[in-house]
């Protein structure tokens, strides 16, 4: 079905795209801050998605990094992560909407309970040292970059 400018369907998809961009920007900024001064390669990757040429661009690894952070803090299980990943692989745009809402709600809960990451926030004290192993490791990155 073609999207004609100004139709309800067109407006819905533009709003959905804005929500995805907003979430991607928030995730990229926080993960950029987590890796700042700790892992130059990962920090440069997040720089590209936070401030650089890939700013606000959706890639599955962005969502996957947040999922793994949520898993590290026990907001989601390994099985639930796998289910979300399967939804991301789907061609159905409604599944991406559900994935976005899932990640956004769990992220908001994490932030409500622990606050946003900062070097001073004690809830994330060991995170910068375990990030490259527990959150965005080479395997996770390669698997999710190959998807889309």
Whether 129 is in a domain gets the answer: yes
Whether 41 is in a domain gets the answer: yes
Report how far residue 20's alpha carbon sits from residue 81's, in angstroms, rounded to the nearest whole number. 18
**What is the number of alpha carbons within 13 Å of residue 41 lying toward its C-beta?**
6
Whether 2 is in a domain gets the answer: no
Q: pTM of the full predicted structure?
A: 0.85
Q: What is the mean pLDDT of each run of 10 residues along the chain (148 residues)?
A: 46 67 95 92 93 89 94 95 89 84 95 95 92 83 61
What is the model's pLDDT at position 18?
84
pLDDT digits (tens, 9 = 90+) for 93-118: 788 888 999 999 999 999 999 999 99
Whether 1 is in a domain gets the answer: no
Whether 88 is in a domain gets the answer: yes
Whether 3 is in a domain gets the answer: no
Whether 115 is in a domain gets the answer: yes
CB count in 10 Å sphere of residue 90: 12
How many domains are contained in the chain? 1
Report how far residue 53's alpha carbon sits from residue 100's, in angstroms, rounded to the nearest whole number. 22
Residue 118, domain extent: 8-145
Whether 139 is in a domain gets the answer: yes
């Amino acid at each position: 079905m073609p999207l004609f400018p100004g139709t309800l369907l067109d407006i819905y998809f533009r709003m959905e795209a804005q929500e995805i961009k907003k979430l991607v920007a928030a995730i990229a900024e926080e993960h950029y801050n987590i890796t700042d001064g700790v892992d130059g390669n990962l920090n440069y990757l997040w720089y590209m998605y936070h401030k650089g040429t890939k700013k606000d661009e959706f890639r599955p690894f962005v969502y996957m990094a947040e999922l793994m952070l949520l898993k590290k803090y026990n907001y989601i299980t390994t099985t639930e992560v796998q289910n979300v990943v399967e939804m991301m692989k789907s061609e159905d745009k409604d599944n991406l909407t559900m994935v976005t809402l899932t990640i956004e709600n769990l992220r908001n809960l994490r932030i409500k309970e622990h606050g946003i990451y900062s070097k001073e926030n004690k809830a994330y004290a060991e995170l910068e040292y375990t990030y490259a192993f527990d959150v965005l490791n080479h395997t996770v990155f390669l698997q999710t970059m190959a998807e889309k």
